[in-house]
Chain A
């Protein structure tokens, strides 16, 4: 009976799904889906090599410092970094004094309260503060940016497919729109063509406009590609500051687990097949010693088993 009902219900679902399939196929044949403009012109991020690639890669502290410099001098005027504190810069190899100076000289001050009047005020940043947002609120940010909202960059490399490679591609990917780009996909007022951006037109003006925009203290040649790579590395660190701890802990964990698993396998094989070296002595009513005891007791009681 259940089988019969089951077959009927099954036929029901099969018919309804086939109906959907039929309508879908009819529509597909009559009006095959065209590739969207975005899909046609969009480009996947380029291959970019970083020191932290691969399972055992680590951050290059020099590069992170250069990236921080690019962030400070180029990105920070519009983008926040709200999950990172000045004190975290210690992990890039800066000394306490340097960090104090960076916080003290940061262009944007931290919101606070005037201790005398209790009114809203601002004060200089301290190492314990997180990077202050460049705008007091979203409305202010949009008003200053042609109604576009510059995203917070703390997690940007984890929040975009392709991560740092996408960032480098995007930062260096600005170009003139191709000639065959249809009118409706051309950048409008205040937009810029960039094939790495999801809908091809990005509100952010090209941030890295010329080689040498930033002068590096360590003598690295500040080409646009170099600056893009450095800031992408820095923002990978801001998104995943515990990456090196994670990989080191992972290696130790794996060594331990592989060792433990080999031991577990040997124990398993020994218990299942190591009969020659090991005598199984079961307990319970079928245990030969228990059986012998029982038989002896039975004999004593005059009962033959």
Chain B
């Protein structure tokens, strides 16, 4: 693991030496996020988002555990207990607004993290497992967020749960038994609320486990970088600490400022007004929309409106799940040896079209299922699948890529990355003799 020039952990005192021989935990941390982990020196700000996602997870777990001390997962009291948190629990409003908006920010930074991986080819060998574990985290996050949104037991909670579990009902033969098994009945009710609460509390810790695997798998080849050229010598790297801890500290500050702006000054902006109406199985809301981070997938689901051999609904469900599942195959769908989009002029165009495409899907997914939004989301859905399954495989055959720099440090010397650490400060190299 890691590079031969990685700095070795040296216990500072007798106690740490004693501990290191019995349980080398400080050594583990030192090698994972300390000076013992050499990192390419040319990482730009987009490489901050992994750490930010980790911090978002910590915020969610801490606020969530405290909220769970006051929340009651019972049909007639859940909504009331949330209002109790908002009104009578000390700083309860802060905890709940942080938790609700923290979920949104968790998705924002995770989506940016994923698009960074898409642009810079971070999914390519030897980092396929890092990518795939990341997708597992995304799926777990989606399940957790969905179940969390059900817990306040408002109108959108109830009807969202009904619609999303109803998707499983589209599967032939086994669909309806699966739906009943998920809900614990024919419609969302007490059993649903109880199991969703239990799983909503469990899954974040599963996410923590997969995050550890994600980081472990990352540290075998080491971090990728904007050039996509692998690290070749000590000149290409700086120790994670203090270089990237300092940079991540700044990134974290900006992240927290934005989170605070929304949490304190527009806490309900990202939510839906209907979720302040208690759940009522007898009154269907005018429009049922999931939280904004599911809108692109919701648009794909609703883009399939005509039966084609199979029922339209089943196509929609397959496409929605397929839109994430196909990402697991991405390392093999795009085997171009050049990783970074910076050296793939044609790929770059398609990448930005994809970004716009997903934004369009997101917009349409938040609109009612009317024309012209359905037609627009159909065109965007066609592009989404064509991008990953047709354009990228063909592009990786035909594209003429730009010449790559010989090494990271060479690209840095040619000013390609103004953000990178200066060459003479690379901490793992001999410093110039002190005068």
Among B118-126, B328-336, B400-408, the one that faces the other chain is: B328-336
A285 cross-chain contacts in B, Cβ below 8 A: 5, 7-8
Q: Given the complex of chains A and B, what is the CA–CA distance between A281 and B286 in angstroms?
A: 65
Given the known inter-chain contacts A10-B390, A246-B94, please indicate yes or no for A272 contacting B247, CB distance below 8 A: yes
B7/A249 in contact, CB under 8 A = no
In the complex, residue of chain B having the shortest beta-carbon distance to the beta carbon of A27: B371
Interface: B289 (CB within 8 A):
no
Among B52-60, B221-229, B345-353, B424-432, the one that faces the other chain is: B424-432
Instruction: Name B430's contact: one of A161, A241, A260, A291 (CB within 8 Å).
Output: A291
User: Which residues does B use to contact A, with CB under 8 Å?
Assistant: 5-8, 10, 35, 80, 83, 86-87, 93-94, 97, 234, 239, 242-243, 246-247, 249-250, 252-254, 256-257, 260-261, 263-265, 267-268, 273-274, 276-277, 286, 303-306, 308, 312, 315, 319, 322, 326, 329, 332-333, 335, 370-372, 374-375, 378-379, 381-382, 385-386, 388-390, 393-394, 396, 421-422, 424-425, 427-431, 433-434
Instruction: Name A21's contact: one of B243, B265, B375 (CB within 8 Å).
Output: B375
Secondary structure of the B contact surface, majority rule: helix
Q: Given the complex of chains A and B, what is the CA–CA distance between A286 and B147 in angstroms?
A: 51
B261/A254 in contact, CB under 8 A = yes
B390 cross-chain contacts in A, Cβ below 8 A: 6-7, 10-11, 14
B257 cross-chain contacts in A, Cβ below 8 A: 254, 257-258, 261
Q: Given the complex of chains A and B, what is the CA–CA distance between A34 and B168 in angstroms?
A: 33
B393/A24 in contact, CB under 8 A = no
A1-50 interface (Cβ within 8 A of B): 2-4, 6-7, 9-11, 13-25, 28, 33
Among A71-79, A92-100, A214-222, A263-271, the one that faces the other chain is: A263-271
Interface: A120 (CB within 8 A):
no
In the complex, residue of chain A having the shortest beta-carbon distance to the beta carbon of B388: A10
A268/B429 in contact, CB under 8 A = no
Query: Could you pull out 7 A-B pairs where Cβ atoms are within 8 angstroms?
Result: A16-B308, A20-B308, A24-B305, A254-B257, A264-B246, A265-B253, A280-B431
Total interface residues in chain A, CB < 8 Å: 68
B87/A242 in contact, CB under 8 A = yes
B250/A288 in contact, CB under 8 A = no
User: Which residues does A use to contact B, with CB under 8 Å?
Assistant: 2-4, 6-7, 9-11, 13-25, 28, 33, 55, 83, 88, 151, 154-155, 158-161, 198, 239, 241-242, 245-247, 249-251, 253-254, 257-258, 260-261, 264-265, 267-268, 271-273, 275, 279-288, 291
B83/A155 in contact, CB under 8 A = yes
